[in-house]
A and B are shown apart, each in its own frame.
Chain A
């Protein structure tokens, strides 16, 4: 199939970006990133600079790939990262617009590469259970109800890609932050620090420049791991109660 790609090029964080068009030929069994590999190989053979994009595991779990395709983070399919998207989702002759994840808290580094270190700092502000190596009791000493463990997993499955932020018109990181808070709150071990964790993580999130939540719900729709929106509602509840408990 023959496609036209309109790709965002930007030399560095502070330089101005622009769209550049490329014609490519792709086969439907290619993954989307392999299609970009082929384009890059061509650009290199023409002694031009290839398109910078981040990727690593190429199986939908590391959370590295970060591009919006025709305005949608990770492209048109639900529950999929870009690296899992295959060209059979497209038709011959289509034009595809490829941009980096856009958010104030994710500055562009180059082309399609953005800086998501703000996510790390949110986790550092409280997204853990304070247990040193060697302090643990036997793994089976605290039974956890199967359904509850499974719900914790549904939140813990977050890959930290930032699609939720890029999808949100406010650039909010509520889904990311609430997923970690809920994962840990659902485990008995995580309840101990819960109140402190909620307050600290939300404060850090605000400090990083992420926007507020206005219940759009796009974060959940575009999340490659389909993390439920109910995480955000629960976090809001925890936050109110935490603020009052603290003061």
Chain B
């Protein structure tokens, strides 16, 4: 299949502006006659629904949650990047673009990333206008902090709840459109299929989660803003409900899944501690502004800590290994996520881990507390402050910056991070892969768009911190509302799409059969137990480091598990009723296919880049080794039960030099 990314002509800094100025428009009287379905109400979905409705389109929005405000965007902690250069530290659109391309290990599309960097500035303005209570300095202006992989301060934040505040901004904008009837909101509706009519996406099949009833919804086009698939690993920082099903249903209808093996393992999460554990909790990357990552130099000390015979405080300064500062002096603790995660794995694998399972390192705030304490004492005019005063003042500063994170850590672990360093370990957090889209955010299926984490476009092989919020909102507020016009301007003569068409009837019938197939197994194992086993296979063979042998094995294990699922799964309850177990079952069934595709993708990509680390391809120092000759391209897969087919989109780098990523 020939993949056309539809990148506009012209110099990169002018592409978007020129394109925007020359796009086809849809007149207001025609917008009123055009229907758009938006699935998902996270940052991308809510912002897109609100904006499309403001423009005059008829929007039908769908979420499986009880309210559009619950989407998992709400849990993003640290912040949102924008090239505002308010700090006068040399930031610019180009620099944000450059950092993102480099951070993604040169596996993203230049034109998309540049547009993202451009839109970043408008997002902040829009959010402020909506009343998002960003952190501010004493002069009343917006405050910034730093995130990994960059050397400027461009991250805007609202305490440790930036995602929540931005999502509520978008949710409120959406609510305003619901109130005036421009958006019809369907809560507790899960999309189970996309309907194509004459090759164009014209509707969806949903299940009403309260009644179990299957419903048909038609529109002139369909927008998927349905998030990532990190839960294929079972344990991740995603919410329990996050799933791949909407995107996967699109794949089953011919959409391409791009770079599925590019998953982000976030370095600072609370370590795994029990078999019954249901999810992992992230500790924001912003903590690495002030926290120092270390393990003991001596393996005996690590052992003593694991056994509870020693604590971090027993290890003197000179016997600690601040390994990120040692290995990457230029970026120190603020290296990108993939680099920090791998380094933590290496230290833990060497036996230097500091939690019972051996998988964990320290994140220490003692130095920051002391530094801030001294500064605060000085500004308060306290001369020769004693140690206690310094600590108490320093802890106050840390509390102001990260209070809710420290509190969350203490609630989960029962340990006080002001007094003892945190213990952290990498966990699955985000998926850079997703539905293949062109510059218009349209998939290869005409009229089917994908936004936010659900598409693959902007983060390459590794996403930088505070860039997910930026991308979700850029797509929803500032990109799709324009590019959707390219498709819809040709549809102004298309009358309302009828749900009585045979295509809808067929899709509904297939969906019903799929549900019945799962319900009728009546085996002995719970959905949850299959999901857990899938997660273990994924983490073992397609996790932080991968190799050919393991990926081949992983693939066959998943195929076996899938077979077992359809022979022995047990789903209690009724089909036509509120049934959370059935919801889980259809999602896990899709994960069982997606997982296999991830293995295949990781095996096919014979290089290490960003979050994809193939053990066969590394330097002597253990750094990832790319193969630009063969793999400067996007892998876009057509699903096939037996052998998925690979399509490639070649990437070209004209504005950023393709070179080995270094943070040393």
Q: What is A's interface to B at a CB cutoff of 8 Å?
A: 12, 27, 29-31, 33-34, 37-38, 41, 43-45, 47-50, 52, 54-64, 77, 79-80, 84, 86, 88, 109-110, 113, 115-117, 119-120, 123-125, 127-140, 142-146, 149-150, 152-153, 156-157, 159-160, 183-184, 186-187, 189-190
Docked pose: A29 CA to B65 CA in angstroms: 28
Provided the pairs A61-B161, A124-B179 are in contact, do residues A34 and B278 lie with their beta carbons within 8 angstroms? yes
Chain A residues positioned under 8 Å from B135 (CB to CB): 149
Chain B residues positioned under 8 Å from A133 (CB to CB): 47, 50-51, 54, 126, 173, 477-478, 481
Task: Give A207 Cβ to nearest chain B Cβ, in Å.
Answer: 14
- The verdict on B308 contacting chain A, using a C-beta distance below 8 Å, is no
Task: Give B379 Cβ to nearest chain A Cβ, in Å.
Answer: 15
A interface footprint on B263-294 (CB within 8 Å = 1, 0 otherwise) = 00000000001101111011000000000000
4 tightest A-B CB contacts, nearest first: A143-B140, A128-B172, A136-B129, A136-B125
- The verdict on B178 contacting chain A, using a C-beta distance below 8 Å, is yes
CB pair A41 B278 closer than 8 Å? no
Task: Give A14 Cβ to nearest chain B Cβ, in Å.
Answer: 13
Docked pose: A49 CA to B86 CA in angstroms: 56
Q: Given B134, B137, B185, B274, which contacts A27 in the complex, CB threshold below 8 Å? A: B274
Q: Is the interface of A mostly helix, strand, loop or mixed?
A: loop
Q: Which of A33, A48, A50 is packed against the most chain B CB atoms within 10 Å? A: A50
- The chain B residue sitting closest to A129, CB to CB, is B131
Docked pose: A45 CA to B194 CA in angstroms: 34
Q: Given A43, A59, A117, A152, which contacts B187 in the complex, CB threshold below 8 Å? A: A117
- The verdict on B175 contacting chain A, using a C-beta distance below 8 Å, is yes
Chain B residues positioned under 8 Å from A49 (CB to CB): 572-573
- The verdict on B141 contacting chain A, using a C-beta distance below 8 Å, is yes
- The verdict on B528 contacting chain A, using a C-beta distance below 8 Å, is yes
Task: Give A34 Cβ to nearest chain B Cβ, in Å.
Answer: 5
Task: Give B254 Cβ to nearest chain A Cβ, in Å.
Answer: 31
Provided the pairs A63-B70, A117-B66, A143-B141 are in contact, do residues A136 and B175 lie with their beta carbons within 8 angstroms? no
Q: Given B65, B136, B273, which contacts A149 in the complex, CB threshold below 8 Å? A: B136
Chain A residues positioned under 8 Å from B21 (CB to CB): none
Chain B residues positioned under 8 Å from A183 (CB to CB): 131, 133
Docked pose: A229 CA to B69 CA in angstroms: 23
CB pair A44 B526 closer than 8 Å? yes
- The verdict on B168 contacting chain A, using a C-beta distance below 8 Å, is yes
Q: Given A109, A134, A139, which contacts B124 in the complex, CB threshold below 8 Å? A: A139
Docked pose: A55 CA to B70 CA in angstroms: 10
Provided the pairs A64-B66, A156-B165 are in contact, do residues A137 and B408 lie with their beta carbons within 8 angstroms? no
Docked pose: A134 CA to B580 CA in angstroms: 40
CB pair B411 A145 closer than 8 Å? no
- The chain B residue sitting closest to A36, CB to CB, is B278
Chain A residues positioned under 8 Å from B131 (CB to CB): 129, 152, 156, 183-184, 187, 189-190
Docked pose: A190 CA to B172 CA in angstroms: 12
Provided the pairs A56-B72, A62-B70, A120-B69 are in contact, do residues A34 and B239 lie with their beta carbons within 8 angstroms? no
Docked pose: A161 CA to B485 CA in angstroms: 38
Docked pose: A109 CA to B581 CA in angstroms: 16
CB pair B240 A56 closer than 8 Å? yes
- The verdict on B75 contacting chain A, using a C-beta distance below 8 Å, is yes
CB pair B165 A57 closer than 8 Å? no
A interface footprint on B454-470 (CB within 8 Å = 1, 0 otherwise) = 00000000000000000
- The verdict on B416 contacting chain A, using a C-beta distance below 8 Å, is no
CB pair B278 A37 closer than 8 Å? yes
CB pair B276 A38 closer than 8 Å? yes
- The chain A residue sitting closest to B578, CB to CB, is A110
Chain A residues positioned under 8 Å from B210 (CB to CB): 109
Given A110-B578, A153-B159, 13 more pairs with CB closer than 8 A: A31-B278, A45-B524, A47-B572, A54-B66, A55-B240, A119-B67, A123-B172, A128-B172, A135-B129, A139-B127, A144-B140, A146-B138, A156-B131
Interface of chain B residues 159 through 194 with chain A (CB within 8 A): 159, 161, 164-165, 168, 171-173, 175-176, 178-179, 185, 187
CB pair B125 A137 closer than 8 Å? yes
CB pair A127 B175 closer than 8 Å? yes
- The chain A residue sitting closest to B52, CB to CB, is A133
Docked pose: A136 CA to B412 CA in angstroms: 40
CB pair A129 B572 closer than 8 Å? no
Docked pose: A45 CA to B127 CA in angstroms: 48
CB pair A86 B67 closer than 8 Å? no
Provided the pairs A117-B67, A127-B172 are in contact, do residues A56 and B138 lie with their beta carbons within 8 angstroms? no
Q: Given A30, A52, A120, A145, which contacts B274 in the complex, CB threshold below 8 Å? A: A30
- The verdict on B117 contacting chain A, using a C-beta distance below 8 Å, is no
- The chain B residue sitting closest to A113, CB to CB, is B578
Provided the pairs A62-B74, A64-B66, A119-B67 are in contact, do residues A124 and B175 lie with their beta carbons within 8 angstroms? yes
Task: Give A6 Cβ to nearest chain B Cβ, in Å.
Answer: 21
Docked pose: A57 CA to B134 CA in angstroms: 23
Docked pose: A113 CA to B131 CA in angstroms: 32
Q: Given B86, B140, B282, B572, which contacts A146 in the complex, CB threshold below 8 Å? A: B140
Chain A residues positioned under 8 Å from B175 (CB to CB): 120, 123-124, 127-128
- The verdict on B407 contacting chain A, using a C-beta distance below 8 Å, is yes
Provided the pairs A44-B570, A59-B281, A137-B129 are in contact, do residues A37 and B66 lie with their beta carbons within 8 angstroms? no
CB pair B130 A58 closer than 8 Å? no
